Structure 1
Amino acid sequence: MASVPKALFCPTCRKVVLATDGDFPFCSDRCRILDLGKWASGDYKISSPILDPEVLEGLGENMPHRRHSDDED
């Protein structure tokens, strides 16, 4: 019995895509580029907070310090 390749729906146009397809999980390069454009324009957002303490520590080190209006000069 041959194994059946995994299938998903293209996240952009909802066509069925097999895991063996070259553009998986998208059905085409066009859908892949449209999806990237939505991320780049801010249409997609990751809305859940970062809860991993190691990631939070790394972010604090790389971000410039902001001055608050109540800070002294």
Structure 2
Amino acid sequence: MTDTPKNAPAPCPVCGRPMVRDYRPFCSRRCADIDLGRWFTGQYRVPAGSDFNDMDENHTRRVDPDEEVG
């Protein structure tokens, strides 16, 4: 295992070179643009929560408007 100083810049997530402060967390504008392009083309995706259409009706509570609440 390689010992790296604790205050060493993190590697660029695109190419692995050291991060440059002006382009944080990337090393250059080029790597920042590559990453942005990956988001635009759908290569990166944020996992979605549960879909309301997939909910089981047995686990939902239906409220009767005539029911007393409280």
Structure 2 unaligned segments of length 5 or more: list them: 1-5, 51-70
- Which has the larger Rg? 2
**As a proportion of its length, which structure holds more strand?**
1
SS of residue matched to 2:23: coil
TM-score, L = length of structure 1: 0.52
How much does 1:49 deviate? 2.0
Structure 1 unaligned segments of length 5 or more: list them: 51-73
TM-score, L = length of structure 2: 0.54
The size of the alignment, in residue pairs, is: 45
Q: Over the residues paired in the alignment, what is the CA RMSD in angstroms? A: 2.1
1:33 corresponds to:
33
Question: What's the CA shift string for 1:2-53, capped at 9, x where partnerless?
Answer: xx855111111111215xx211110000000000000000000012527xxx
1:13 corresponds to:
15
The runs of 4+ residues in structure 1 deviating greater than 6 Å are none
1:43 corresponds to:
43
Percentage of matched positions with identical amino acids: 33
